[in-house]
Amino acid sequence: MLAALTLLLFGLMAGCNQKDSGDKKSGGIADLFKKDKLPQATTDSLFVKSYLAKRPEFKEQEELMYQFYGERNYKLAWFKENELVPQVDKFLGVIDSSYAEGLDPKRYKLVNFNELFKKYEALDAKDSTRLQLQQEIDVALTASYFNYASDFYRGRVDPTSDNSVNWEVKKNKIKLHKALQTILEERESTYPYYEFEALHAGYIRLRDVLQEYRALQQKGGWPKVELGGKKSLQKGDSAQAVAVLRKRLNPNQTIDPKDKRYWHFDEKLEAQVKKFQQLHGLKEDGVVGGGTLATMNVPIEDRIEQIMINMERWRWIPKRMVPKSLDQKYIWVNIPEYKLYIYEDPDNDPEAERDYKEVMSMRVVVGKTMNATPIFSEKMEYVVLAPYWNVPNSIVEREIKPKMLNNPDWLETQNMEIVTKERNPKPVSAYDIDWESVTEKNFQYMVRQKPGPKNSLGSMKFLFPNEHAIYLHDTPANALFSQTERNFSHGCVRLEKPMELAKYVLRDMPEWDEQSIEDTINGGEEKWITLPKKIQVYLVYFTSWVDAEGNVHFREDLYGHDKALKKEYFG
């Protein structure tokens, strides 16, 4: 054994003494010790595991860490030729400025990188401990990125694990390890990860407004409007309170409440009040009192929090609003706004993720507080003309049962009938049912309202099959659309312009023009139409947003979802 080792050492030394035959990278032992720097370090799963075990604050990112490093065979990410890549400074700057995103920088400054960098630079280039420090810095940067990016791109609150949040829109499945590869310029993407930028214009507009509101907060915010014994203020009034009102609506202007030039409530101020009412979903009468006064006196701190939690909701929205397999359009119902919008890509290009344009909007009626319209997303598949209304058993027990106990013929007066629950329903006599004992769970039949002008679904409904049995539909109660607050339904969404929506979703089926739709409705026979391509539908809950003109909107927390989210987000 000793002899063999002696021969090996002799051979190596002989090799070192041989003349270089033109290859300057001979790889001999002498060359190794003459090198100015050690080779670039790599890491491995054991090092990653050991590091995470010592830093439990990164435990949630463990799966992403193994996925990211595993796909690169544990090659370091943030070093190139033993030097930190430029993206390091950019990322640390993003963390420093995360306050602008409605996030807390302290949540992401879990590692003292300046100290690690100084320690690394102080080590001699040939010091082997430098290789281990490279690994530590690299793994720490990656874990810090995932910690930040998880909050920034997916949200601080996980709506799928917190039942109090009430959000069942399809999950944002952003692949953060791929996003990091884009940042490091190792792959290309249509998304702006390399700029550490948000994915939705709605988020970005709210973020810009957040900075404006915070700047205004630093200056003292806006004044509280007090009427001084008056019930309201309106055009023609003259009082010091009018000057305060003027300052409230123009907080960046210098207005002295004692200066009587500002005391007169003129047409210009009335227009501003109506604009305020419009942006807050109030009756646009130009009168300051009641709900308008209460809304004006919401503190700026509350509005800032409202903006922040609605930015959080945008983080939950999928980065791809519409799957590539569908037409590049989607229906967006914002429940607190009582409004439906249709957005589409005019070029129908699945790659043009940020180019959707509004092509239609209409008022809607949503569920009462006790029958809240759920928040979810699905795909529209059918349009049903002259529909039956199949009454849910919950309504049978709560509303129909008392009426039938009082008047056994009540269903007939409503053009309703009772049928069996089978493919070909058979009629059932109301007199054969023991209404006294009927409950939501034991009622074995189906109450349905026949097609016709009195039908609660009106002339048509739009189905996107879902576990909530929620859909869009017409209504005979058209007067409700003139109301400012429109939460009257049992949960489904009633449409102001159902015919316009029908023509739009059926426009690729020439046989279904307005006349043929009308003829079918008037025929009184239920007709199901299968859409040639499904359409993405979102039922969402945003109480603050910024429109295309830059106007900031706020709405009341109709179902208390803001309150629940604030508790999770700020708690």
CA angle at 106 for the pair 103 and 108, rounded to the nearest 5°: 80
Annotation marks residue 492 as catalytic: yes
Task: Please check whether residue 233 is in contact with residue 227, taking contact to mean a CB–CB distance below 8 angstroms.
Answer: yes
Percentages of the chain per state (helix, strand, coil), in multiples of 5: 45, 15, 40
Beta-strand ranges (E) seen in 451-541 are 460-463, 472-473, 487-489, 493-495, 527-540
The contacts of residue 168 (CB under 8 Å, 6+ apart) are 159, 374, 375, 376, 377
Q: Strand pairing partners for 528?
A: 384
Q: Which residues of 78-89 are buried (b: 16+ CB within 10 A; e: fewer)?
A: bbeebebbebbe
The contacts of residue 528 (CB under 8 Å, 6+ apart) are 382, 383, 384
Amino acid at 62: E
Amino acid at 480: L
**DSSP assignments along 538-567, one per residue:** EEE--SEEE-TT--EEE---TTSHHHHHHH
Task: Please check whether residue 552 is in contact with residue 558, taking contact to mean a CB–CB distance below 8 angstroms.
Answer: no
The contacts of residue 479 (CB under 8 Å, 6+ apart) are none
- d(CA 298, CA 449) in angstroms, rounded, equals 45
The contacts of residue 145 (CB under 8 Å, 6+ apart) are 91, 180, 183
Token pair belonging to 108 = 């992401």
- d(CA 472, CA 490) in angstroms, rounded, equals 12
Catalytically annotated residue among 200, 264, 492, 561: 492
Annotation marks residue 16 as catalytic: no
Task: Please check whether residue 335 is in contact with residue 451, taking contact to mean a CB–CB distance below 8 angstroms.
Answer: no
Catalytically annotated residue among 177, 264, 473, 490: 473
8-state DSSP, 220:
T
Q: Catalogue the active-site residues.
A: 473, 492
